[in-house]
Amino acid sequence: MRLNDPEACRVFDVQRFSIHDGPGIRTTVFLEGCPLRCGWCQNPEAFGHSHAKPMPTAAILAEVLKDEDYYTLSGGGLTVSGGEPLLHLAPVRALLEDAKRRGLHTCVQTSGIVPQTHLAGVLGFVDLFQFDLKHMDSQRHRQLTGAGTERIHANAAWLLRQGAAVQFRMPLLPGLNDDAENIDATAQFLNKHGAPALCLVPYHRLYVDKYRAMGLEPGVQGLEPPSDALLAQVRRQLEQHGVVVTVEG
């Protein structure tokens, strides 16, 4: 397959009946490739160790359409995830465009670290962007993921200026991004851009066995899921800034 083959995506998983990847019941298509290396990444397949198969966009859509009735009943649809799905502009654009032609609700999960032209390329075919904010401080973000925040924040602001529907999400990682300074900075960022809502995604360890099965080790070791008390504390702090908080899971 060519690197950006407009006819096929490198798919490492297709999850039917997803309920955490956008509204309603959805099919989530996971694509290989990511410019970041988050130490808590739940999808090491995205790093290119999984021998993901090139899958024609028509075949992906045929798989997704198997559950069309459930989407209609639940307000669900197609979610494209990764990895960073917007690395692959041409095939992802084709997939999203075809999905919209078939009347599906479309959601893209992004780290935001892509050229703005890639966001612009899919903008007309995406009903909802789920956009990660992992840490507000650029240097700390670089330590945690391998890249700073400049492009990510510029892309978030650009999407909002275009009137795109954006749901910001933050993985809550005890000891890594849950300090008061970062929570305040996150709330200030959301308020500054007129988008005062955040979905907290509590860290979990279910993915560790997947790493071991692949002969890999997660980048961060010994991280524990947030306690209920921490979750409540972070939630309270965000709400004090007027941010509407939801918690995934």
Asked if 36 touches ligand SF4 (CB under 6 A), the answer is yes
* Helix locations, 47-149, DSSP H: 57-65, 68-74, 89-101, 116-122, 138-145
Residue ranges in 111-171 assigned as alpha helix (H): 116-122, 138-145, 150-161
Q: Which residues contact 5 (CB under 8 A, 6 or more apart)?
A: 54, 90, 91
Q: Which of residues 85-114 bind ligand SF4 (CB under 6 A)?
A: 111
Q: Residues 49-88: x/- map of binding to ligand SF4 (CB under 6 A)?
A: ---------------------------------xxx----
Contact flag: residue 43 with ligand SF4 (CB under 6 A): yes
Nearer to ligand SF4, 26 or 104 (CB): 26
> Minimum distance between the CB of residue 145 and ligand SF4, rounded to whole angstroms?
6
Cβ–Cβ under 8 Å, residues 180 and 2: no
Structure-block tokens of residue 169:
């999400």
Give yes or no for residue 190 binding ligand SF4 (CB under 6 A). no
Q: Which is nearer to ligand SF4, 6 or 146 (CB)?
A: 146
- Could you say which of 37, 49, 193, 241 contacts ligand SF4 (CB under 6 A)? 37
Distant-in-sequence, close-in-space partners of 92: CB < 8 Å, separation ≥ 6 = 9, 31, 80, 85, 86, 108, 122
Task: By CB under 6 A, name the binding residues for ligand SF4.
Answer: 34, 36-38, 41, 43, 46, 82-84, 111, 145
